[in-house]
Amino acid sequence: MATAVILAGGYGKRLRPLTSKTPKPLLKVGPKPILIWQIELMRHYGVGKFVLCVGYKKEKVKEAVGDGSSLGVQVSYAEEEEPLGTGGAIRNAGDFIRDEEYFFVLNGDILTNIDPRPLAKRVLEEGCQAAIALERLPSPYGVVKVDEGWLVREFVEKPTLPYWINAGIYCFRPSILELLPDKGDVERTTLPLLAEQGRLVAVAYEDVYWRSIDTHKDLEEAQKEVGRLEEALRD
């Protein structure tokens, strides 16, 4: 049974005043909180055990999710007394995951229909230490195409950008725990180190739904896109 660690301890400062009383993972998108969408999606893809890394208003998260039985999964909690960053939070969850063959990690503020199984497949088949999900984003603006003489040829409304971004979903072997900081972000510490050593692979996802809930506008847009998540859970 696969395990997923969800990083759900942040303050969500850019979403205040909504997060003044409610932790960001419990903000609702459509009929359910972000965190429940994440658990249900990962369960859909065979994940049965979860470790929630909680800090800010952690009692509310524990009250909402409990032991996971109401969602058909097993849930444990790795609690932070102070913010540890994403890397420190995963390290703090070490007792729950160090005996796993591999485990997934998700940022607690993303909504997506990404299938995490290809990440595990690459880790297991290629013997690498970690795999990262990559995604393309649409431009927030329309673009104008011109020719060599700066004659306007075409207007393109919000095209997909030609760059890959970190989608905030990973698959790690437990040996990564030794490389994680006690306090700090995995994106700024361990992942660059693994990339430098050639021990980090990527899985590119195209034509998937992905949104990070960082601002009020993100939350508003996500409310319009609930159908994409519901569709993923029906497939």
Q: Give DSSP secondary structure letters for 81-149.
A: SS--HHHHHHHHTHHHHTTSS-EEEEETTEEE----HHHHHHHHHH--SEEEEEE--B-SS-EEEE-TT
Which residues are within 8 A (CB) of 127 and not within 5 positions of it... i.e. 6 or more apart?
Answer: none
Q: Could you confirm whether 183 is annotated as catalytic?
A: no
Residue 104 β-bridge partners:
4, 171
Question: Are 136 and 206 contacting, i.e. CB atoms less than 8 angstroms apart?
Answer: yes
For the chain, give the number of residues: 235
**Helical pair 226-234 and 216-224, crossing angle rounded to 10 deg:** 50
From the candidates 13, 145, 158, 217, give the one annotated as an active-site residue: 158
Residues with active-site annotation: 158
